[in-house]
Amino acid sequence: MPWEPDSGAIDRETFLRVLQRHKVATSPDPDRPGHTLSTKGDGLDSRVLDEWIERDILRYFARTFRIPMASFFNYARRLAEVPKKANVNEKS
């Protein structure tokens, strides 16, 4: 599951997808190995992203890059609810 309802954390892959959907450029930071550089307009952040992104970090990014907080959770919920498609070429 891409999110943990109890803690409010989402996984790194979902987090990066939401940033990209909101036009935040993400790339490895050339000055700090292991850090991810995120930029949009005047907003800039460089940090190590753990496997799970906690709610306080989500709030920080929501404020810094003007992303509605609900975007992170709505996207994660949609990923969790999408059933996997059956392989059409698979023979029974």
Q: What is the pLDDT of residue 1?
A: 61
Q: What is the pLDDT of residues 3-54, one digit of tens each?
A: 677 788 999 999 999 999 999 999 999 999 999 999 999 999 999 999 999 9
Residue 74 has pLDDT above 70, yes or no: yes
Between the CA of residue 53 and those of 72, 89, 91, what are the distances in Å?
A: 10, 37, 40
* Strand order through the sheet with 52-53: 3-4, 9-11, 52-53
pLDDT band at 78 (very low <50, low <70, confident <90, very high): confident
By DSSP bridging, strand 36-40 and strand 52-53 are: unpaired
Q: Which helix (H) or strand (E) element contains residue 52?
A: strand 52-53
Q: Which helix (H) or strand (E) element contains residue 40?
A: strand 36-40
Residue range 55-83: mean pLDDT, rounded:
85
The predicted model scores a pTM of 0.79
In angstroms, rounded to a whole number, what is the distance separating the alpha carbons of residues 25 and 9? 21
**Domain extents for the chain?**
9-78
| Both tokens assigned to 36 | 């991810």
CATH number of 9-78: 3.30.920
